[in-house]
Structure 1
Amino acid sequence: MMENPRAKEILEHLNRRSPLSIDELATLLAVSTVTVRRDLAELENEGLIIRQRGGAALPSNSIEPMFYQRHKQHLELKKQIAKYAAEQVEEGEVIAIDVGTTAAEFAKELLKKNNLTVFTNSFQAASILAKSQHQVYFVGGMLRKSEMSMVGSIAKDTVLKFNYDRFYMGLAGISHSAGPTDYSLEDAEVKRCFISKSKEVIALVDKTKFGKSSLVKVCEMDEITTVITNQDDGVAGQEMAYFRGKLITV
């Protein structure tokens, strides 16, 4: 998609001012509104923009792209992390899986494993693991539709009733200044409950998330046992210079 010069130009205009209407983009690009709508649909499918009524915007700290939009972003990076993380899971463990697109890829990798007890508040992860022989517990609560996650007091109370060997956590951003952050206050509250009841907390963070921050801080850095990410140009190392846990690059 990014070979399309118009797509790059749309993103450049949105970087200067966001949101923009379809009419404004058509004028800036000197093309028809039909062409703009087609380009915006492709950019939305790649998770690079947020479609709004009559226009488009870039995702921001307070605007979370839909799950299906984010799923295609950096997919190979997420798969690398998910594969490595799943290889470390031992038979018989009780694990908890967070919401999010990397967590969904991790759930797919767990189909290759045997004899696990899995707790999750992610509808996506639970649906994937329904095909497995694992013992799967889907945490109830209020459905947060954009993320297909279960949140609220019922979800938090349920999570706190059990103990977990490991919690596999996703994040929207992670940086030295802001710490581990996420888009949603409701999801962050459930994450904190999983963290408090887990022996280990393993953050699955693709390399594009480093140096970025989002709406709400999830926890302190020293509450995370391990961060699994991708090999990069050193940004992860810079941001995690004071991290006392394990930083694993795959």
Structure 2
Amino acid sequence: MATDREKDILNFLNEKSPLSVEELAASLYVSEVTVRRDLAAMEKKGMIVRKRGGASLPELGFEPMFNQRQKKNNELKQSIAKYVANTIQEGEVIALDVGTTTAELARELTKRSGITVFTSCIQVASILAKSNLQVYMIGGLIRKTEMSMVGSIAQETIRKFTFDRFYLGVAGINLETGLTDYSIEETEVKRAFIDRSKRVIALVDRTKFGHSSLIQVCEAEQIDEMITNKGDFGGELPEDHFKGKITYV
């Protein structure tokens, strides 16, 4: 949940980015120590990128490393994962997207049995390797920064199968750009999973709303359900983006 001062900082950065600690302190009428403390908290939430002596908004093409994202908003991701794991039925064939929320879901699924899982994410497959589930790793070109499989081989493999549900992760969701992600290559794989799934369920923690990244993943109409968190969204609401089923956990 963004504080009033954090919202003010975002508003200033929307007008000019980057800004120095000194500039922000003068605009907010607070000390530089207070600004640095706010920026540290905002960086942890993924709201800004700290630079030497100041901060900026994340660039559209800037993708934090997987292990960095894993530490941010982890409680929100875990609450989504625990809810979703309890909705998956034995006998279902599901696909798990690349991402830190789907990695949390994979951890919850290690407690389950009788489910078949397909994924293009090496991190997810590694977690599920310790389970009793049947796990299929999609082949392709390794995208080393994300430890995932991309490219034409991955897309062609996905299109040979049909999935009961695809659990989709995104980098941001914005009124103008819709559901977006950092990587063109990852997005092509996501679209292949969407095309081959009976139901598409977007897992979007509440900090993703109002943010935009490089490329649109899909139209909102292609999503069957959106699962997000209860609480303050600090501006844009899930209902602004999606008229289908929204589940708050």
- Counterpart in the other structure of 1:226: 225
2:209–2:238 contact (8 Å) kept in structure 1 = no
- Counterpart in the other structure of 1:102: 101
**Matched residue SS, 2:110:** helix
- Counterpart in the other structure of 2:28: none
**Matched residue SS, 2:104:** helix
Instruction: Find the aligned partners of 1:205 and 1:42 in 2 and give their Cα distance.
Output: 20
The aligned amino acid for 2:205 is D
- Counterpart in the other structure of 2:122: 123
- Counterpart in the other structure of 1:236: 237
Whether 1:190 aligns to 2:189 is yes
**Matched residue SS, 2:237:** helix
Instruction: Please report the RMSD computed on the Cα atoms of aligned residues, expressed in angstroms.
Output: 3.4
Alignment of 1:33-48 (within 5 A): none
Instruction: Find the aligned partners of 1:19 and 1:177 in 2 and give their Cα distance.
Output: 23
Alignment of 1:1-250 (within 5 A): 59-233=58-232, 235-240=236-241, 242-243=242-243, 245-250=244-249
The 10-residue stretch of structure 1 (140-149 or 192-201) with the greater mean CA deviation from structure 2: 140-149
1:95–1:118 contact (8 Å) kept in structure 2 = yes
Cα gap change, 1:179 to 1:17, in 2 (>3 Å): closer
- Counterpart in the other structure of 2:32: none
1:47–1:69 contact (8 Å) kept in structure 2 = no
Instruction: Find the aligned partners of 1:52 and 1:139 in 2 and give their Cα distance.
Output: 37
The size of the alignment, in residue pairs, is 235
- Counterpart in the other structure of 1:32: none
Show CA shifts across 1:54-88 (max 9, x none).
x9865321111111111111000000001111110
TM-score, normalised relative to structure 2: 0.79
Instruction: Find the aligned partners of 1:216 and 1:58 in 2 and give their Cα distance.
Output: 17
TM-score, normalised relative to structure 1: 0.79
Cα gap change, 1:51 to 1:147, in 2 (>3 Å): farther
Cα gap change, 1:180 to 1:42, in 2 (>3 Å): closer
The aligned amino acid for 1:72 is K
The aligned amino acid for 2:156 is D
The alignment-based identity, stated in percent, is 57
- Counterpart in the other structure of 1:7: none
Unaligned runs of 5+ in 2: 1-9, 26-35
Show CA shifts across 1:76-114 (max 9, x none).
000000111111000010000000111100111111111
Cα gap change, 1:52 to 1:123, in 2 (>3 Å): farther
1:170–1:204 contact (8 Å) kept in structure 2 = yes
Q: CA deviation at 1:51?
A: 8.3
Show CA shifts across 1:130-172 (max 9, x none).
0011110001111112211110111111111100000000011
Cα gap change, 1:192 to 1:99, in 2 (>3 Å): same
